[in-house]
């Protein structure tokens, strides 16, 4: 478990801001309760935003996501893993390819696809087993688009719902890409360049802009 408790380049759990956030929100009498509290703090306290510059490594780094107060699925998963490690809870990141049947027209146009490769989630070691937690969509966003919010109890996997509140097809898991002690940014960026050339061109055009809004 040592590598899942140490700081990484992107899961930078030793960063002062990450440690402070973890200390503030990791409330509870045991690891499971503290992990649940951190999950909701990251899920709802950091806005989900898929329109980021993925050419910049800051989009994947826990402390940068926290500073920007926004992130996409991988960045938010990295942040949850970092805050968990700061609280002494073993954590890693996992990835899967998913098809979003409710992709917004803007996002579909930007990405050129409704297939999301390397969707990121957090894997937390609680009560002797690994449990998946997906803090991507904040509650406000889910309410606006009538998507079922993902709850987390620390005992059961928290992964995307197959249908939304109106019983429309939502998320479909297609491929498991495994788990990692830190975010494999080089591999992800390479895959993004191949799968989403338009998105990557937009990122390169905005390369002079800062990650924060």
Instruction: Quote the CA–CA distance of 81 and 4 in Å, as a whole number.
Output: 9
The domains located in the chain, with CATH, are 2-205 (3.10.620.30)
pLDDT number for residue 210: 35
pLDDT number for residue 165: 84
Q: Give percent of the chain with pLDDT exceeding 90.
A: 67
pLDDT number for residue 43: 97
CA angle 97, 173, 157 (to 5 degrees): 105
pLDDT number for residue 205: 52
pLDDT number for residue 208: 37
**How far, CA to CA in Å, does 150 sit from each of 67, 139, 160, 204?**
24, 9, 7, 33
Weakest mean pLDDT among 19-28, 33-42, 82-91, 157-166 = 157-166
pTM of the model: 0.90
pLDDT number for residue 211: 35
Place of tokens 């579909």: 108
pLDDT number for residue 107: 73
Instruction: Quote the CA–CA distance of 129 and 137 in Å, as a whole number.
Output: 24
Say if residue 207's pLDDT is above 60. Answer: no
72 or 102, which is more confident: 72
Place of tokens 């990121």: 120
pLDDT number for residue 202: 62
Say if residue 206's pLDDT is above 70. Answer: no
210 Cβ partners below 8 Å, 6+ apart? none
Q: What is the mean pLDDT of residues 65-73?
A: 96
Weakest mean pLDDT among 110-119, 168-177, 204-213 = 204-213
CB 166 within 8 A of CB 146: yes
- Greatest CA span in the chain, whole angstroms? 48
CB 100 within 8 A of CB 170: yes
């Amino acid at each position: 478990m040592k590598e899942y408790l140490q700081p990484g380049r992107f899961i930078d759990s030793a960063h002062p801001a990450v440690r402070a956030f973890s200390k503030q929100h990791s409330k509870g009498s045991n690891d499971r309760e503290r992990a649940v509290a951190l999950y909701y703090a990251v899920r709802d306290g950091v806005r989900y935003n898929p329109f980021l510059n993925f050419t910049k490594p800051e989009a994947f780094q826990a402390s940068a996501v926290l500073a920007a107060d926004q992130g996409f699925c991988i960045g938010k998963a990295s942040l949850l893993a970092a805050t968990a490690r700061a609280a002494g809870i073993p954590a890693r990141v996992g990835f899967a390819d998913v098809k979003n049947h409710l992709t917004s027209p803007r996002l579909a146009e930007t990405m050129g696809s409704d297939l999301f490769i390397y969707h990121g989630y957090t894997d937390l070691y609680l009560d002797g087993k690994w449990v998946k937690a997906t803090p991507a969509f904040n509650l406000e966003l889910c309410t606006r688009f009538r998507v079922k919010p993902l709850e987390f109890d620390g005992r059961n996997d928290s992964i995307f719902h197959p249908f939304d509140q109106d019983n429309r097809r939502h998320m479909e898991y297609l491929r498991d890409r495994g788990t990692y002690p830190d975010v494999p940014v080089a591999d992800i960026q390479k895959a993004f360049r191949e799968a989403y050339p338009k998105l990557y061109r937009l990122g390169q055009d905005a390369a002079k802009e800062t990650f924060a809004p």
